[in-house]
Amino acid sequence: MVRDDPNRIGLVAGWGRFPIVLAETLRAQGYHVTCLGIKGHADPVLAEICDEFVPVGIAKLGRQIRLLRNRGVTKATMAGKLFKTILFKRFAWLKHSPDWTCVRYFYPLFITKTRTRTDDSLLLTVVQAYADAGICFAPATDFAPELLVKTGTLSQRKLTNYEAKDISFAWDLAKEMGRMDIGQSVVVKGRAVLAVEAVEGTDECIRRAGRLCPSGGFTIVKVAKPQQDMRFDVPTIGLGTLQTMHAAGGRVLAVEADQTILIDQQEVMNYADQHGLTVVAIDAAESQQMSRVA
């Protein structure tokens, strides 16, 4: 085992651009990055960026921990989406062949079912297993705070009064959904709820709204949970989010300022302007002001 080294960091990588951007940031800051790429999720390009890249099974929790501990890693971070729907497929446990560590920690969630399987329950269990082995998770935004979007309009197209009222209406609903650890996004039009995000994720939620509202012109609001743990499941948007939104017929995307990760901001802004979309980052006070728009 390599002696513990504060300049070594573990990156548990899921799907999307976020792990790539974070890996580049960590390397630029001088960290030796050991990336555990979740199979079926992580982009292979991470192998070209990180000092070491090891594909790992989502249920191989013990192996993940040993890989990092054997390399002297005591600090880790996670980035990227995990498709939680795979947990509910038939014979999921057999397919993913969980190791003993995974079985031991997730026994109350999947076997005795004495604990819930919400996002927070699942991810806190992972964090606890790592912590018990001497590896502490830190928020990815501790290393890349510039990724948290600031208050403002990120597109040339401004909100109409009608859309501002929709944002305010959806904001409170999204916060309540987050409080109950159901999802982060709500899609509305004319202060009617079209879709609420659950286990399927934001993109599928937007696509469902598009099928239910073929006339388009709807608004998506994505917020942090009131009890948001910044170590995981932080609201994240990027170019792919806008592409999904445009294809589905959405018009407005509102996110929570200082609590949402924005990947490739310039590309997002350019795409929004090219397609006549509105992207805004607001806080709770601004949401309340929108409710009073004439």
Domain count, the chain: 2
**Whether residue 198 sits in one domain with residue 98:** no
In a domain, 1, yes or no: no
Question: Of the candidates 142, 177, 194, which is a domain's last residue?
Answer: 142
- Reply yes or no on whether the pLDDT at 65 is more than 70: yes
Question: Of the candidates 111, 142, 173, which is a domain's last residue?
Answer: 142
- Reply yes or no on whether the pLDDT at 294 is more than 60: no
How many residues does the structure list for the chain? Answer: 294
In a domain, 190, yes or no: yes
**What is the distance in angstroms between the CA of the first residue and the CA of the last residue of the chain?**
65
| Confidence at residue 107, expressed as pLDDT on a 0 to 100 scale | 87
Q: pLDDT tens-digit profile of 202-256?
A: 999 999 999 999 999 999 999 999 999 999 999 999 999 999 999 999 999 999 9
Domain that holds residue 39: 8-142
Confidence of residue 93 (pLDDT cuts 50, 70, 90): low
Confidence of residue 159 (pLDDT cuts 50, 70, 90): very high
Query: Which CATH number covers residue 107?
Result: 3.40.50.20
- Reply yes or no on whether the pLDDT at 149 is more than 70: yes
CB 46 within 8 A of CB 87: no
CB 240 within 8 A of CB 262: no
**Whether residue 284 sits in one domain with residue 215:** yes
In a domain, 217, yes or no: yes
In a domain, 284, yes or no: yes
**Whether residue 212 sits in one domain with residue 89:** no
**Whether residue 187 sits in one domain with residue 126:** no
| Confidence at residue 97, expressed as pLDDT on a 0 to 100 scale | 87
Question: Of the candidates 115, 142, 169, which is a domain's last residue?
Answer: 142
**Whether residue 136 sits in one domain with residue 40:** yes
Confidence of residue 112 (pLDDT cuts 50, 70, 90): confident
**Distance (Å, whole) CA 103 – CA 38:** 18
% helix, strand, coil for the chain, step of 5: 40, 20, 40
Query: Which CATH number covers residue 164?
Result: 3.40.140.80
Q: Coil, strand or helix: which one is 137?
A: strand
Dihedral (CA of 151, 235, 265, 216) sign: negative
In a domain, 204, yes or no: yes
* pTM given for the model: 0.92
**Distance (Å, whole) CA 196 – CA 98:** 31
**Whether residue 160 sits in one domain with residue 201:** yes
**Whether residue 71 sits in one domain with residue 86:** yes
**Whether residue 109 sits in one domain with residue 12:** yes
Nearest to 179 by CA among 133, 217, 239, 227: 227
Provide mean pLDDT across the span 39-59. Answer: 97
Which element (helix H / strand E) includes 225?
Answer: none
**Whether residue 197 sits in one domain with residue 69:** no
**Whether residue 232 sits in one domain with residue 137:** no
